[in-house]
């Protein structure tokens, strides 16, 4: 029972939004399928940390969910800034049940036990929030992260997944990093950032006792990263 993670799949089987036009994304769905099947087994779990589908609705994202369903393992899906299909928990769960997507699960205000880990997380928000509206969103996301951590099974090590990086180019989302530090988190994984040059500007390695790791799909060359 292994735990893997990847973010920013940007699937578009049900809409016209090809990613192949960007450097490093040629044949990415084929590479993703091959590399996922190479490392992930049926008893494993993969956290998909946001920007999963370009579909504008659950119906438009159905083919992307079907693709994920066809891959090995259980999938814990998180919201990213481009997941416009995202709806209420009840609607998403109902849609998955109706269409037979039995390996897809929503990670939102909750947590999942995977082996010795409690998988927790939230979308996060901008590391340079300045407006009043942005600050409201940041505070809400910090609250959701606390709610997720509060739901963790006692005795399990909490590991945190975000969509947005908690720090980029020297700017930190303090509301999020403070939660990580006060809860004694040791591992934090995030996506959102694309391109080699941008990847050099995210927080990486161990800082204040927390190991940070970028897991954007193109950064990982579309191979899910083994967390444990």
Digit-coded pLDDT (tens) for 86-124: 999 999 999 999 999 999 999 999 999 999 999 999 999
pLDDT at 49: 98
Residue 92, C-beta contacts closer than 8 angstroms, at least 6 positions apart? 58, 86, 106
Q: What is the pLDDT of residues 147-168, one digit of tens each?
A: 999 999 999 999 999 999 999 8
pLDDT surpassing 90 at residue 178: yes
Q: How far is CA 45 from CA 31, 38, 105, 210, in A?
A: 19, 14, 11, 22
Over the chain, what is the mean pLDDT?
A: 95
pLDDT at 66: 98
pLDDT at 23: 84
pLDDT at 199: 83
pTM metric for this prediction? 0.95
Q: What is the pLDDT of residues 27-57, one digit of tens each?
A: 999 999 999 999 999 999 999 999 999 999 9
Instruction: Kindly indicate the confidence band of residue 24, based on its pLDDT and cuts at 50, 70 and 90.
Output: confident
Which of 14-18, 64-68, 157-161 has the weakest average pLDDT?
14-18
Give the CATH superfamily of 3-226.
Answer: Metallo-dependent phosphatases (3.60.21.10)
pLDDT surpassing 90 at residue 139: yes
Q: What is the 3-state secondary structure (H, E, C) of the chain?
A: CCEEEEECCCECCCCCCCCCCCCCCCCHHHHHHHHHHHHCCCCCEEEEECCCECCCCCCCCHHHHHHHHCCCCEEEEECCCCCCCCCCHHHHHHHHHHCCCCCEEECCCCCEEECCEEEEEECCCCCCCCCHHHHHHHHHHHHHHHHHHHCCCCCCEEEEEECCCCEECCEECHHHHHHHHHCCCCEEEECCCCCHHHHCCECCEEECCEEEEECECCCCCCCCEECC
Instruction: Kindly indicate the confidence band of residue 221, based on its pLDDT and cuts at 50, 70 and 90.
Output: very high
pLDDT surpassing 90 at residue 203: no
Residue 135, C-beta contacts closer than 8 angstroms, at least 6 positions apart? 129
pLDDT at 112: 98
Instruction: Kindly indicate the confidence band of residue 20, based on its pLDDT and cuts at 50, 70 and 90.
Output: confident
Residue 68: strand pairing partners? none
Q: What is the mean pLDDT of residues 129-157?
A: 93
pLDDT at 132: 87
pLDDT at 21: 80
Percent of the chain with pLDDT over 90: 83
């Amino acid at each position: 029972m292994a735990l893997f993670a990847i973010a920013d799949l940007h699937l578009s089987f049900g809409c016209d939004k090809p990613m192949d036009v960007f450097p490093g994304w040629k044949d990415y769905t084929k590479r993703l399928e091959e590399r996922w099947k190479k490392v992930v087994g049926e008893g494993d779990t993969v956290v998909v940390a946001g920007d999963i589908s370009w579909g504008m609705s659950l119906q438009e994202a159905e083919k992307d969910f079907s693709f994920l369903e066809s891959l090995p393992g259980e999938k814990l899906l998180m919201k990213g800034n481009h997941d416009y299909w995202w709806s209420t928990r009840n609607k998403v769960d109902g849609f998955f049940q109706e269409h037979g997507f039995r390996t897809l699960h929503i990670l939102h205000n909750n947590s999942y036990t995977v082996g010795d880990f409690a998988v927790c997380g939230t979308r996060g928000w901008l590391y340079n929030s300045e407006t009043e509206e942005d600050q409201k969103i940041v505070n809400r996301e910090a609250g959701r992260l606390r709610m997720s951590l509060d739901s963790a099974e006692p005795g399990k090590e909490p590991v945190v997944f975000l969509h947005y990086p908690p720090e980029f180019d020297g700017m930190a989302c303090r509301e999020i990093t403070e939660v990580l530090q006060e809860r004694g988190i040791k591992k934090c994984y995030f996506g959102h950032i694309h391109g080699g040059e941008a990847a050099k500007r995210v927080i990486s390695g161990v800082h204040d006792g927390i190991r940070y790791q970028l897991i954007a799909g193109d950064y990982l060359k579309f191979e899910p990263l083994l967390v444990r």
